Amino acid sequence: MAEPKDIKTPLSNGDLEHFKALLLEKREEAQEKLDTVWDDQTNLEEADDADYSSLTHHLGDVGSDVQEEEMHYQLIERLREYIQYINEALERIENKTYGICLATGKLISKERLEAVPHTRYSIEAKNKGLVEDT
């Protein structure tokens, strides 16, 4: 059997253009969110530099700030990963392998692609436990 990455999609060029536009829109939204979180994190760090010079800084406040920074870094990492998945999906569109499950080599349903356009796996592969992520 051919490797899933070698199987060409049966999706029409119109379908591929639709999913490309959807992915580009999602990537733009994710990039805007990433930029916002980065700006928030930068502002938090600048405020921390000024605030920590004070002797009256409460330990609870420091803990809250550290927790908020950690949440920002986790969100930044998730957004970067999501953008990477989108970029990989766009690459599959370009090489005409988009919509093919990387685990089974079968077509991913259009319904799944509409819901999760960056997915690499079919519901069948997920249900059989062949993969752990989208």
Between 32-36, 51-55, 80-84, 124-128, the lowest mean confidence (pLDDT) is in 51-55
More confident residue, 4 or 132: 132
The answer, yes or no, to whether residue 6 has pLDDT greater than 50, is yes
CB atoms within 10 A of CB 120: 20
Cα of first residue to Cα of last residue in the chain, in angstroms, is: 23
**CA gap 109, 10 in Å, rounded:** 11
Query: Both tokens of residue 80?
Result: 């970067």
Q: Residue 7 corresponds to which amino acid?
A: I
What burial class does residue 12 get, using C-beta atoms within 10 Å of its C-beta: 0-12 exposed, 13-18 middle, 19+ buried? exposed
87, 45 Cβ separation under 8 angstroms: no
What burial class does residue 119 get, using C-beta atoms within 10 Å of its C-beta: 0-12 exposed, 13-18 middle, 19+ buried? buried
Please give the CATH superfamily to which domain 4-127 belongs. Answer: DksA, coiled-coil domain (1.20.120.910)
Considering only CA atoms, which of 8, 32, 19 is closest in space to residue 117? 19
Phi, psi (5° rounding) for residue 102?
-70, -15
> pTM here?
0.79
Share of the chain above pLDDT 70, in %: 77
